[in-house]
Amino acid sequence: MERVIPTIAMRALLVIDVQNDFCPGGALPVPEGDVVVPVINELMAAFDHVVLTQDWHPEGHHSFASSHAGKGPYDTVEMDYGEQVLWPDHCVQGTAGADFHPDLNTTRAELIIRKGFRPEIDSYSAFFENDQETPTGLTGYLRERGIDTLVVVGLATDFCVKWSALDGCEQGFTVHVVEDATRGIDTNGSLAAAWDAMHEAGVQVLEAEDLLQAA
C-alpha cells in the first residue's frame, strides 16, 4: 500500500502509556520499551497537537493477578465485559511506576488521558474502557478541536496501541501507527495478530522518518 503522510493541519500525535512500569526495570516491562522515547520526543516537534495517555490503576485493581486467588500473571478470567488478561500489579496511582518515563518530553502535551482508574474494569484503549462502552472523553476532545487524523505511538503495540488505533478508526478518525516508535509484549503471538488487526481496520503503518521528512 502506498504510504500517505498526514499533513500537519488537523492531526495529533497520540502517545500511549510511556510509563516507567512499561519500560525495562518496571513491573510490566515491554522489551526495549525505553527505545521509543527519543523517537517520540523527536516526532513531537512535528506536531501542533500532542495527547498522552497514562495507565492509572488503584491498588487491588481487578485486572491484577494478585487480586485473584490461585491466578498468576497472564492467566485469564471472565469479567462482566468478557475475557480479561491478568497482569502483575503495575502503574498504581501515585507510584513511581505510574510516572511517565523521565526522558519523555511531557511539556508538549495538551491533554493527558488517565485510564484504568475504575477498580472493576481495565482500559487498554485511549477511547474506551474494556467494556467498549465507557468513554474516556478523547473522541469529543479531538472533534471539538477539529482534529481528524491520529498518529499513534507508544506502548504496548499489541495491547494499548492496538486498541487505541482500532477504536480511533471506529470513531471515524484516520489513524497511522509509527512502527519504530512502538514496541510490543508479544504473548502467544499477540504482536503479529495486532498488526494484522490494524491492517485490516485500515490503519496505515509509517516510520518516524516518513513524518520527519514531511514536516
- If one counts every other C-beta atom within 10 angstroms of the C-beta of residue 129, the result is 20
162 is catalytic: no
**Residues near 180 by beta carbon (within 8 Å), at least 6 away in sequence:** 36, 39, 207, 208
Measured in residues, the chain has a length of: 215
114 vs 34: CA distance, rounded Å: 20
Can you tell me the distance from the alpha carbon of 150 to that of 47, in angstroms, rounded to the nearest whole number?
Answer: 11
Q: Which of 115, 122, 162, 167 is catalytic?
A: 115
- Active site includes 160? yes
Question: Considering 34, 55, 122, 160, which one is annotated as catalytic?
Answer: 160
Nearest CA among 109, 173, 169 for reference residue 143: 173
Distance CA 12, CA 189 (A): 30
Respond yes or no: is residue 23 known to be catalytic.
no
Grid cell at residue 25: 526495570
Residues noted as catalytic = 17, 115, 160
